[in-house]
Structure 1
Amino acid sequence: MTSHLSQTKPTTEQASSGRVSWQQELKEAIRSAAELCQFLHIDPAAICAEEVDFPVLVPRAFARRIERGNPTDPLLKQVLATASERDDVDGFVTDPIGEEQAQLAPGILRKYSSRALMITTGGCAVHCRYCFRRHFPYSESPSGLEQWQPSLDAIRADEQIEEVLLSGGDPLVLPDQRLAQLLIALADIPHLKHVRIHTRTPVVIPSRITDSLVDLLKSSRLKVWFVIHANHANELDGEVFASLSRLQNVGIPVLNQAVLLKGVNDDEDTLFELCKRLMDVQILPYYLHQLDSVAGASHFHVPVEEGRALIAQIRKRLPGYAVPRYVQEIAGEQSKTVLA
C-alpha cells in the first residue's frame, strides 16, 4: 500500500496557526518495526519481526498513546509486525471475504442491495496488522478523478444504488481537493442519496479533520455519514474527540466499528470501556466485527462463541443503543451475518 501524501501541501489554517499539518504528521510516521520498538523503549529482539509484505506504518500521534516499555500494550499489538504473521494457518487466505468476485468495475465493489463501495486509494494513515485488505491488489484500483470515471459510470448506470461507501485504503489520506472532486462527481448522480466515509485516519492523526474538510462535507448535497475505526478505549483521547466533534457540530453522524482481536479487546471490561467512552461523546458503537480470516492475522482470532458471550455480558451493563452488533462478513453473502 502506498501513500499519496508526501507531495500535498498543508492547509491554510494549519500553516497560519503554526501547527504541524496532517500531511507532515504522516510523512514523519514510524515506518519499521525496529523504529517503533526503539521509540517505545522495547527490546526488538523480544517481539519484533521484519515485515515481509506489509510494512509497518504508525503515526507518532498514535504511537504516543502506547505505553512505553510495555510489549503487551493493546495498541501496540495492532500495529507491530511479529513473527506470528508468518504462520500458515488453514482457512486464513488472501481474500477472506471474496472481494475479487464482487467487483462491479475496477475499484468498485457491489455486494449489497442499494449500496456500492469505492476503493478510493491504496494509501492508509496506519497499517493495522489484522487488515483484511493487506493483500488487496490496489495497483488495479483507480485513485484519481479520471481513473475513477469507470466507477462513477457504473454507479450512474445502476439506479438501485442509493449509497456509496468510500473506503480504501483510507479515503482521508487523499487531499481535500481530490476528495472534493469525487464528492462533486458523486453528487451529480441523481439517484445517490448518501455517502459513507470509512476511515481510521482521525483516530491516528486527529489533525486530519480540518476546516476545509468540514466545509467540504457539510456543503455536499449528499447526506454524509462518518464511520471511524477504534478497537480500544486508549485510542480515543481528548484530541480525537475534539476533532470528531467538529463533524458532529455540523450535523454529520459519527459511528464506530471495531474488530474483535485476541489480546486487544477480547474481555468484558475492555469492550465495556470502549462502548461507554464512545457513548459519552455521542458516537454510536455500530459494529463489532468477527476477525476476517486474512493470511497473516490468525494470531488475532477469537472464537465466535467467546464473542457472543462478551456481547451478552456487556449487554447487561449498557443501554441497548450502546451495544454494537456482533457481525461477520461471509464471502458471497448479500449482507453481514449477525452473530449476536
Structure 2
Amino acid sequence: MSFLKLLTQDIAIDIGTANFLVMQENNVIVDEPSIIAFNYTTGEVVAIGREAERMSGREHENIRIVKPLKNGVIADFHAAEHMIKSMLKLAKKGRFSLSPSYRMVVCVPAGITEVEKRAIRDSTVIAGAKEVYLIHEPVAAAIGIGLDVQEPTGHMIIDIGGGTTEIAVIALSGIVCSQSVRVAGNNFDEDIIQYIRKEHSMLIGARTAEKIKLEVGAAIDELADPPEDYAVKGRNLMNGLPKQVKVNYKDIAACLDKSLTKIEDAILMTLELTPPELSSDIHQSGIYLTGGGALLRGLDRRLAKRTRLPIHVVETPLHSVVQGTATALRNLDNFRFLMR
C-alpha cells in the first residue's frame, strides 16, 4: 500500500441542520450539534459542537454564535467552512500524526439546488477533501436501514431532521417522487416557544424548548405510557422575574399540531404522485420513519391513522442517514447514483 494511500482517509459525513455526524470504518467518531462560536474581535473559533451549544443564549458581546446550516443547506459559507474543518480535527484527534486528505461522501437534502451543492462541495474541499461525493438523504437513510435501493421495489422514507422533512419514494437507485418541506425539529422548538409565551406569558430559549420536546414532546394526546409533567423555567414577560410553570404532553401535542399537519399533507401529496406499481409495494411494506423527529412520542400512530399504512420507526433514527452514507462510501463502484 502506498504512503499516499495511507494518508487518504474515507469518511462519511451527515452535515445536518441540528447535528454534525462523521462515520469511519463503521464507527460514529463525531456526533456534535451543528453550531460554532467565534471571537467577535479576532474572528477565531472559540468553540464548536456541544461546547458552543452550552454558550448559546449565554454569550456576551464578544462571542458570536452561528448555526451555519438552515433548512438543511449552508446559509453561512464562512462559518460552515470553519465548522467542517474543526469537526474533522475532532475526528482525527489522536488518530493521525500527519494531516490526511479525505475521500468523503456527504448527504444532502433531496430538493437541493446546484448552487447549494456547490457550496457544500467547496466547503469540504477547503476543509481537506480530495474527492467529494454527494448522496440524497432519503436514499442514504434507505441504505442505512438495510433496504436494497437498487431493486425495482418501491420504498417510502420519511426523514424528519432539524431543518427539513424529506419524503421520498425510492426505486432502482433513484428518487421516483419526493417532497421536501421546511418543517422539522427546529419548527417544533419554535412552536413550543410560542406556546409558552402565549399561554404562560413566559419567555424561554431554544435549548429549553428542545429539552421540553425531548421530555414531554408528543404527536397525539392519548399515550399508553405518558411522560410525567415537566417543570419549565424562564422569564416572566409581565414583570421580568424568573418564573416556573409545568407543562404536560397534551399541551405539547396541541401546540405541534399545525406543523405536524403540514408534514402529513406533504406525505399524502407524495403518495398521490407515486406510480401505481410502487404504491402497491408501499401498501405491502409500509413507510419507514427516520431522523430525530421520528422519536416524537405517538408520531407513528398519528401518521398510520392519516395514511392508513403501517409506519415503521427505524432502529437508530438519528444515525440511519450517516450509516447509509458510510455504506455508500464502502461501495462507491456499485452505487453509480452518487453525485461527483
TM-score w.r.t. the length of structure 2 is: 0.29
Bigger radius of gyration: 2
User: Comparing both structures, which one devotes a greater share of its residues to strand?
Assistant: 2
